[in-house]
Amino acid sequence: MTSTWTRGRRIGASVIAAASLAAIAVVVPVQMGFASSNSSPAPHGAPSGGKPTIVLVHGAWADGSSFAPETAALQRDGYKVLVAPNPLRGVASDAAVLSAFLAQKTSGPVVLVGHSYGGAVISAAATGNANVKALVYIDAYAPDQGESTQDLTNAKPGSLLNVDPTTVFDFVLPTPDAGQGDWDAYIKTDHFKAVFAASLPTATTDALAAAQSPVTLGALATPFAGTPAWKTIPSYFFIGTEDKLLPPAEQLFMANRAHGKITQGRAPHLAMLADPTQVTGVILDAARSCQHGGR
């Protein structure tokens, strides 16, 4: 998932800009290089009956368990489901990891699903992969070239992260010599419920906050490089109208720009746990469309 912040009082704009430029220099070659590895994925357990494999990609401050209800429902419906790794280190490097995963763990048609920051990752990893037949964005970022997830979160009002970052984030320096872009950002535990999943029970959000996976500052601030896959692959969007992290108005803008099929529901940012039935329905819509050769 992604975060936004106006440059914080204790994190200078110049430092973040420098970190972002450094990140671009490192990760852009990776992003440009992973398309070729997608062209001929190795066979690995193709689903029967012509059904696509459904690959789920979590976002920041979460992990694959956030898709547990959808995974179970899709498996009951006869789909092969894989929950892919997402290191949360940077869009291009994370996309390279996902690209390698797809090449070695799937064969045949794939529906690629991303939540929040995971949407940016699937937008990069699917480029050049002819097996990916549909993209599904669940309260997710669908950036164009030059846009960071930070930019998109701040583009329209409504995000609880569009504040002084030190009031909503805890920052962890992973090593003494780590650059600013490599700092890990955690949502403060007392803000997690309001930002992420206001409609879920407090006991649940407390547990999720304790187990959150951090994302690097560079992953949030570095602009997307290359042509996003939503420009050529049919896209489906679930927009949670109660999302307090990524404003619904910005999600709607991205969905319309991608000419995506849009479903809206009264759900917070972590819609997969708050409204699993409707989220599963969107994924099934994309999967069934693949089986019939179109939207």
For residue 37, pLDDT beyond 70 = no
Distance CA 252, CA 167 (A): 28
pLDDT confidence of residue 208: 97
What CA–CA distance (Å, rounded) separates 129 from 229?
Answer: 9
Q: Which residue carries 């789920």 as its tokens? A: 56
> Phi and psi for 126 in degrees, rounded to 5?
-80, -15
pLDDT of 267: 98
pLDDT at site 6: 39
pLDDT surpasses 90 at 239: yes
**For position 42, what pLDDT does the model report?**
36
Average pLDDT over residues 16-45: 35
Q: pLDDT band at 12, cuts 50/70/90?
A: very low
What residues contact residue 86 under an 8 Å CB cut-off, 6+ apart? 57, 58, 59, 94, 97, 98, 117, 118, 121
Tell me what pLDDT residue 293 has. 73
- Could you give the CA distance from residue 125 to residue 10 in angstroms, rounded to a whole number? 34
Is residue 47 pLDDT above 60, yes or no? no
Inter-residue contact 195 to 160 (CB < 8 Å): yes
Reported as a pLDDT band with limits 50, 70 and 90, residue 294 is low
Is the pLDDT score of 27 beyond 70? Answer: no
Alpha-carbon distances of 202 from 191, 194, 199, 230, rounded to whole Å: 11, 10, 9, 36
Digit-coded pLDDT (tens) for 176-201: 999 999 999 999 999 999 999 999 99
Average pLDDT over residues 267-273: 98
Q: What pLDDT is stored for residue 260 in this prediction? A: 98
**Residue 19: pLDDT above 80?**
no
3-state secondary structure of 44: coil
pLDDT at position 17 over 60:
no
Contact 111, 89 (CB under 8 A): no
- Give the pLDDT confidence of 97-148 residue by residue, as tens digits: 999 999 999 999 999 999 999 999 999 999 999 999 999 999 999 999 999 9
Confidence (pLDDT) at 295 = 54
> Per-residue pLDDT for 40 more than 50?
no
**Distance between CA atoms of residues 275 and 199, nearest Å:** 10
pLDDT tier at 290 (50, 70, 90 boundaries)?
confident
- pLDDT mean over 140-167: 97
At residue 182, what is the residue type?
Answer: D
Residue 57 belongs to what H/E stretch? strand 53-57
Residue 49, pLDDT score:
53
pTM tops 0.75, yes or no: yes
Centre a 10 Å sphere on the Cβ of residue 238 and count the other Cβ atoms it contains.
29
DSSP three-state, residue 3: coil
Residue 195 burial class via C-beta count within 10 angstroms: exposed 0-12, middle 13-18, buried 19 and up:
buried
Percent of the chain at pLDDT > 70 equals 83
Q: Is residue 212 scored above 60 in pLDDT?
A: yes
Does position 281 have pLDDT exceeding 70, yes or no?
A: yes
What distance in Å separates the CA atoms of residue 134 and residue 123, rounded to the nearest whole number?
A: 11
Q: CB 158: neighbour CB atoms within 10 A?
A: 14
Residue 169 pLDDT > 90: yes
What amino acid occupies position 94?
Answer: D
